[in-house]
Amino acid sequence: MRAVFSHPEHARDELKFILPKEIASQLDWSTLKLVPGTFVDDALQANYSDLLYSVKLQEKECFIYLLWEHQSSPDRFLIFRELKYVVRFLDEWLTDHPDATHLPIVIPMVLAHGSRAWSCPLSFEELINIPEELKPSVLKYVPCFQVLIDDLYRETDDGLRARTLSTLAAVALWCLKNAFNTPELLKTVVHWRMLLRALHNSNGGADWLQRVFLYITAVHDDPTETVLPTIAKSLEVEENQEMATIQDRWIEKGVKKGLEQGQRATLHQLLRRKFGNEAEDVKGRVENATPTEVTTWLDRLLFATTLEEVFSP
């Protein structure tokens, strides 16, 4: 999905939808462009994606920061993470603008698509444990940071189709909304068949359609005999290369996932045998590691005498 919204022409209307009208109306959307890079912690990039855009506001450059999760359960501390990533960007911005006397506007957003409605804090102050009677005195010293949210769980299927979006953006949001709810995906695909066909038949649309549905394979383990034929039927095709490729990738994903889980289990077992019971931070580090990191740590473990030698950068 990051690939879809990396294109300003597909991101523009979604950003307009999330923003308050009084702000959206003041932005020069013809200047919207993607700022390359990511500010998400390396260890969390499997769970989060982010995009940063620049756009002119009354002739001044401002930024929109969009963050979303790749998991069904919301992270209570997502707002804290977003604040950290915004500050990380501003720190880089200051390095590039050493003579600046003010910081630029950065508008933070969350695109939520979990298996239940978003119920976590949307302001930083909600995360701070302040006695009620002290709030009037203490809150003025707490960072004031709020985010805008598009909670796709709360959006109806009709409401999503009624949005002013590019065909690709609309299909992408539909997939995000139902990524963790395959029965709903199968139930609603009939209502999306015209858009799916339009996307499939557009210039480059078949490739985009393949990438959109491959996202579902990355977050859900639904059997191919239910999802793929339903999608193919909605496109009024019996066999096509896009579906065959998706099915191949789905099988490949299952094999790869099994191998990765086996490597992590082996690393846990060897760490316990060599260094005793694993501390919680060590367990968490292994579970959040990339497959490359797990492979590297397994190699180091053969000759390491301390945990530091295993996990050193």
Range scoring the smallest mean pLDDT among 112-126, 233-247, 267-281: 233-247
pTM: 0.73
CA angle 124–129–133, rounded 5-degree value: 110
Would you say 79 and 144 are in contact if contact means Cβ atoms under 8 Å apart?
Answer: no
228/234 Cα distance (integer angstroms) = 10
Express each pLDDT in 286-306 by its tens digit.
888 888 888 888 888 877 888
**For the chain, which residues make up each domain, given as ranges?**
2-154, 253-311
E-only strand ranges, 113-241: 148-151
Express each pLDDT in 20-40 by its tens digit.
999 999 999 999 999 998 999
Express each pLDDT in 87-128 by its tens digit.
999 999 999 999 999 999 999 999 998 888 999 999 999 999
